[in-house]
Chains A and B, each alone.
Chain A
Amino acid sequence: MSEVKLTVNGRAVTRDVEDRTLLVTLLREHLGLTGTHVGCDTSQCGACTVHIDGHAVKSCTVLAAQVDGSEVVTIEGLADGASLHPMQEAFRTHHGLQCGFCTPGMIMMGIDIVQRHSSLDEETIRKELEGNICRCTGYHNIVKAIKAAADDMAVGTPSMAAE
């Protein structure tokens, strides 16, 4: 067993878990944060993407014990009360989702992409999304949403919760 201490969406969390517990299992089954999805379970689809210390990682391929002491942000940690994060708002406005299964991972990766690039064009967004798969193949609006959110975030829209 491992004692894992994390800050999850701003809240200090301590759990005793089996060593084999994946981060996504801790989030979904121990903490009830089911917004993070398991798609492929082989680190290809990106539905399980969360932020660890500000960087996007695939939580299905990380042990909870590996990231002991880290700050984790999931899709549930983005909105500030009733106000959506600019990336969530952009996905809503631009209809960046169809069935919605890949959406949490797309949004977490979208924020990571915006944070790493001072300016974003469509080609860069498409390249950066190579580890996130949408089975509805709705990439066009996902790309549009990330571009719009990047523009919003650049002009300093309200502070991002938990970021």
Chain B
Amino acid sequence: MYATNYAKATSLEDAVAKLKSSEDGKFLGGGQTLLATMKQRLAAPTDIIDVTKIPELQGISVEGGKVVIGAATTHSQVAASKEIASAIPALAELAGTIGDPAVRNMGTMGGVLANNDPAADYPAAALALDATIMTTRGEHAAADYFTGIFETALEEDEIITKIAYTIPKKAAYEKFRNPASRYSLCSVFVALLDDGPRVTVTGSGNDGVFRVTEMEEALKANWSPDAVRSIAIDPATMLADIHGSAEYRAHLVPVLAARAVAKAG
């Protein structure tokens, strides 16, 4: 591991002050991505400021049709939460598919959303469930928050405190994993909200997570797997790498969307 300075922030103000006084600092969640990235020298912050013990980033609650989750909540806690399992079972299930059990014991929801890896799982749920990303500078609607691969609306010194997900009438997540990395090669989250269906895709888009409005329209008219099965995705909008071509990923979207609709019931 390469040299860096570590500090544990005791409050939001403390975290922001520590970041501002550092040369090239970064906030640290559970470290399951950042520490691995630093080992590879793909990131080399002079300082890492651990925000996971800050009180505002803790807790899970259900209030006013929303599930509100502290940013420091680990994937294991989300997967095991009875409140989340009863309000949005698809979200608890999604959390249980991230990485592996040991990674889930450290990795945090806030860390995933701040990093916005194009193959991360939570962005699909956040966009489909009209999530609000609450931060030290205010709030971001999920629709405006994910701005590109590894890019978000966050400022350098902005910390995610909580994430509020709309409780859907029904929802399901269908994940197609890269068998080696366990990340999504292509995964689809479908949800039926009060104002209509949502279909989001992660792991495959050129610009990261995205909605498939044509599928949403089709589901509005007919909520069934058949409604989405024949809707084609343009490969030009899809990522391509050694794990799968753009055409392959484009093919997976309607297949997984149909499975997700069937699973949601």
Hey, which bits of chain A sit against chain B, CB under 8 A? 2, 18-22, 25, 41-43, 46, 49, 52, 55-58, 61-63, 65-66, 68, 109, 112-113, 116, 128, 130-132
Known A-B contacts A43-B36, A61-B35; A68 and B8 likewise in contact (beta carbons under 8 Å): yes
B182: chain A residues at CB < 8 Å are: 130-131
How far, in angstroms, from A18 to B6 measured CA to CA in the complex?
9
Q: Is the CB of A62 within 8 A of B35?
A: yes
Q: Is the CB of B101 within 8 A of A20?
A: no
Nearest chain B residue, comparing its CB with the CB of A112: B101
| Interface residues as binary, B10-48 with A (CB distance below 8 Å gives 1, 0 otherwise) | 000000000000000000100110011001000000000
Chain A nearest Cβ from B243, distance in angstroms: 15
B242 interfacial contact with A, CB 8 Å = no
B36: chain A residues at CB < 8 Å are: 42-43, 61
B76: chain A residues at CB < 8 Å are: 55
A131: chain B residues at CB < 8 Å are: 99-103, 182
Q: Is the CB of B1 within 8 A of A21?
A: yes
Chain A nearest Cβ from B30, distance in angstroms: 8
B3: chain A residues at CB < 8 Å are: 18-20
Provide 12 A-B residue pairs closer than 8 Å at the C-beta atoms, listed in order of the A residue.
A19-B4, A19-B5, A46-B100, A55-B76, A56-B101, A61-B36, A66-B6, A66-B8, A109-B102, A130-B100, A130-B101, A131-B102
Chain B nearest Cβ from A107, distance in angstroms: 13
Q: Is the CB of B31 within 8 A of A61?
A: yes
Interface size range on B against A = 20 to 34
Q: Is the CB of A49 within 8 A of B1?
A: no
Known A-B contacts A21-B1, A43-B32; A65 and B103 likewise in contact (beta carbons under 8 Å): no
A58: chain B residues at CB < 8 Å are: 102-103, 106
How far, in angstroms, from A43 to B3 measured CA to CA in the complex?
19
A42: chain B residues at CB < 8 Å are: 36, 39
Q: Is the CB of B39 within 8 A of A41?
A: yes
* Interface residue ranges of B111-168 to A (CB < 8 Å): none
Which of A49, A65, A132 has the most chain B CB atoms inside 10 A of its CB? A65
Chain A nearest Cβ from B25, distance in angstroms: 12
Q: Is the CB of B101 within 8 A of A128?
A: yes
B230 interfacial contact with A, CB 8 Å = no
B35: chain A residues at CB < 8 Å are: 61-63
Known A-B contacts A41-B39, A61-B31; A20 and B105 likewise in contact (beta carbons under 8 Å): no
Chain B nearest Cβ from A75, distance in angstroms: 15
Chain B nearest Cβ from A109, distance in angstroms: 7
Nearest chain A residue, comparing its CB with the CB of B177: A130
